A = this chain, B = another copy of it.
Amino acid sequence: MRGVIMHSPGHVSVQDRPDPRIEKPTDAIIRLAATCICGSDLWPYRGANDVHDAPMGHEYVGYVTEVGADVRTVKVGDFVVGSFMASDNTCEICSAGYQSRCVDVVGMGGVGTQAQFARIPHADGTLVATPEPPAEDLIPSYLAASDVLGTGWFAADAAEAGPGKTVVVVGDGAVGLMGVLAAQQMGAERIIAMSRHADRQALAREFGATDIVAERGDAGVAAVRELTGGLGAHSVIEAVGTQESMMQAVRSTRAGGHVGFVGVSHGVELPGDKLFYSAVHLHGGPAPVRRYLPDLLQRIADRTIDPGKVFDLRIPLEQAAEGYRAMDQREAIKVLLTL
């Protein structure tokens, strides 16, 4: 089969890779219907993480082609969506809703789903099938559920977005935009998107943002305070992962408010005294997307939400290198790879 390999920072190609096969009786094999490039794939692309001839990709939707002997809940032919973290969905941590930290978790990044086929560990725990094969135009939205929608949803949930709340979203990448959508669906009264890019501001407004703040740092904090009676927001979503974005988030939150942080943390050191006196709640990490999948798939099937809009460039898998370049250069928010 064909699949993406990142040879070194900035160097991506599509190569022949071995077809995946059932390795454990709890595995399934899927034929990808679509896959995509994640903002977090840019960390190794930009040299922030080590990388050497690694298969890439952890987002996926597709059709089951084979199941292991112990698989019970999905069958050949099902159209399925799974999270970027494969989980048994039965352990004590999964049962508490933290499937991304399952005691038997398998990161799908190691599998590499920017490919024609993929092996899905813990198929019963990981995959959720749609009731029927999806309309072609819904596939991008289902694909979004695999990571960015689920991650933005978790961030909004961790930030306790809801009726009567003012929500700030720090980060205008795909996850931040999905955070806007999630906050809107959760009934937030006001959603302030922090963005300096006109195209992303427009998409944020489409997803439900009521206000845009283009400033950052002290000026950004001041702008949020201005919009919130001097107190700061009730709920803040952090979707970048840098020192600046984390402090932007903490400082934009009122005492007793909630920060949901999902940007993969790089080089962040949170000053304890600032956190102490902020009196905010802080919760985040790798999103337990599996927790939300049944609900998200229903909202997509019902056409209540259209998260697939976040893909503003669609190109064939064979042109993955161009997709990475476009995302790195911020020419695209998120790139869908067709198969």
Could you tell me which A residues sit within 8 Å of B by CB distance? 92-93, 96-98, 100-101, 103, 229-231, 241, 243, 246, 254-256, 261, 264-273, 275-286, 288
User: Which residues of chain B have C-beta atoms less than 8 A from A243's C-beta?
Assistant: 272
Complex: chain B residue closest to A261, CB-CB: B276
Copies of this chain, count: 2
A122 CA / B257 CA spacing, docked (Å): 24
Task: Please tell me if the beta carbons of B282 and A272 are within 8 angstroms of each other in the complex.
Answer: no
A contacts with B: majority SS: mixed
Complex: chain B residue closest to A271, CB-CB: B269
A281 CA / B100 CA spacing, docked (Å): 15
Complex: chain B residue closest to A101, CB-CB: B255
Task: Please tell me if the beta carbons of A277 and B269 are within 8 angstroms of each other in the complex.
Answer: no
Residue of B246, B272, B281 near A269 (CB, 8 A) is: B272
A246 CA / B270 CA spacing, docked (Å): 12
A259 CA / B330 CA spacing, docked (Å): 37
15 contacts between A and B (CB under 8 A): A97-B256, A98-B256, A101-B256, A103-B230, A241-B276, A255-B285, A261-B276, A266-B272, A268-B273, A269-B270, A270-B270, A275-B284, A277-B285, A279-B284, A281-B282
Task: Please tell me if the beta carbons of B254 and A93 are within 8 angstroms of each other in the complex.
Answer: yes
User: Which residues of chain B have C-beta atoms less than 8 A from A276's C-beta?
Assistant: 241, 261, 264-265, 284-286
User: Which residues of chain B have C-beta atoms less than 8 A from A256's C-beta?
Assistant: 93, 96-98, 101, 288
Task: Please tell me if the beta carbons of A246 and B272 are within 8 angstroms of each other in the complex.
Answer: yes
Task: Please tell me if the beta carbons of A98 and B279 are within 8 angstroms of each other in the complex.
Answer: yes
Among A98, A230, A255, A276, the most chain B Cβ lie within 10 Å of the Cβ of A255
Known interface pairs A272-B265, A272-B268, A273-B265; A283-B282 also in contact (CB < 8 Å): yes
Complex: chain B residue closest to A274, CB-CB: B265
Complex: chain B residue closest to A228, CB-CB: B92
Q: Which 6 A-B pairs have the closest CB atoms?
A: A268-B272, A101-B255, A265-B272, A279-B285, A98-B256, A265-B276
Complex: chain B residue closest to A95, CB-CB: B256
Task: Please tell me if the beta carbons of A286 and B277 are within 8 angstroms of each other in the complex.
Answer: yes
User: Which residues of chain B have C-beta atoms less than 8 A from A285's C-beta?
Assistant: 255, 275-280
Task: Please tell me if the beta carbons of A265 and B270 are within 8 angstroms of each other in the complex.
Answer: no
User: Which residues of chain B have C-beta atoms less than 8 A from A255's C-beta?
Assistant: 93, 98, 100-101, 285
Min CB–CB distance A258 → chain B (angstroms):
9
User: Which residues of chain B have C-beta atoms less than 8 A from A277's C-beta?
Assistant: 285-286
Complex: chain B residue closest to A256, CB-CB: B98
A229 CA / B243 CA spacing, docked (Å): 34
Min CB–CB distance A268 → chain B (angstroms):
3
Besides A243-B272, A266-B272, A269-B269, 18 more A-B contacts (Cβ < 8 Å) are A92-B231, A96-B256, A101-B256, A103-B231, A246-B272, A256-B288, A261-B276, A264-B276, A266-B273, A268-B272, A268-B275, A270-B270, A270-B272, A276-B285, A277-B286, A279-B284, A279-B286, A281-B283
User: Which residues of chain B have C-beta atoms less than 8 A from A266's C-beta?
Assistant: 272-273
Task: Please tell me if the beta carbons of B229 and A92 are within 8 angstroms of each other in the complex.
Answer: yes
Task: Please tell me if the beta carbons of B273 and A100 are within 8 angstroms of each other in the complex.
Answer: no
